[in-house]
């Protein structure tokens, strides 16, 4: 019997961050588990839509001053291209929370 795949691995799979070996394990699991495949598929479609929507922001270079601050705070670490999408989403969420809370 195969061990279950964790939610973290599913998220890494959706974000295309798994090694080829683990990717194969997850894909094998998804072929056997229709409910998990549907859930991962829905999350993947949402992630693809977010990537497409925020691609212009994700492709921007982070200003050096922000890069230095981020490293000093140890909040962010250098990451592959396109990872600034996550930063952009976090900034937008913080802004939205500030607007809602007032």
pLDDT tens for 23-62 read: 999 999 999 999 999 999 999 999 999 888 988 887 777 6
The token pair at 50 is 């977010």
- In this predicted structure, what is the pLDDT of residue 76? 47
Q: Cα–Cα distance between 19 and 22 in angstroms, integer?
A: 5
pTM: 0.54
CB neighbour burial string for 63-99, b if at least 16 within 10 angstroms, e if fewer? eeeeeeeeeeeeebeeeeeebbbebbeeeeeeeeeee
Q: What is the mean pLDDT of residues 69-76?
A: 56
The CA–CA distances, whole Å, from 84 to 7, 18, 51, 66 equal 22, 18, 10, 12
Q: How far apart are CA 102 and CA 96, in angstroms?
A: 10
| Mean pLDDT value across residues 63-88 | 60
The fraction of the chain above a pLDDT of 90, given in percent, is 32
């Amino acid at each position: 019997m195969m061990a279950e795949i964790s939610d973290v691995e599913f998220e890494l799979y959706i974000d295309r961050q798994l090694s080829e070996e683990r990717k194969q394990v997850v894909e094998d699991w998804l072929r056997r588990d229709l409910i998990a495949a549907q859930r991962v598929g829905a999350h993947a479609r949402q992630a693809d839509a977010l990537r497409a929507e925020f691609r212009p922001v994700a492709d921007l270079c982070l200003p050096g001053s922000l890069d230095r601050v981020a490293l000093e705070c140890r909040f962010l670490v250098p990451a592959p291209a396109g990872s600034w999408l996550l930063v952009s989403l976090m900034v937008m969420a913080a802004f939205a929370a500030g607007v809602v809370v007032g």
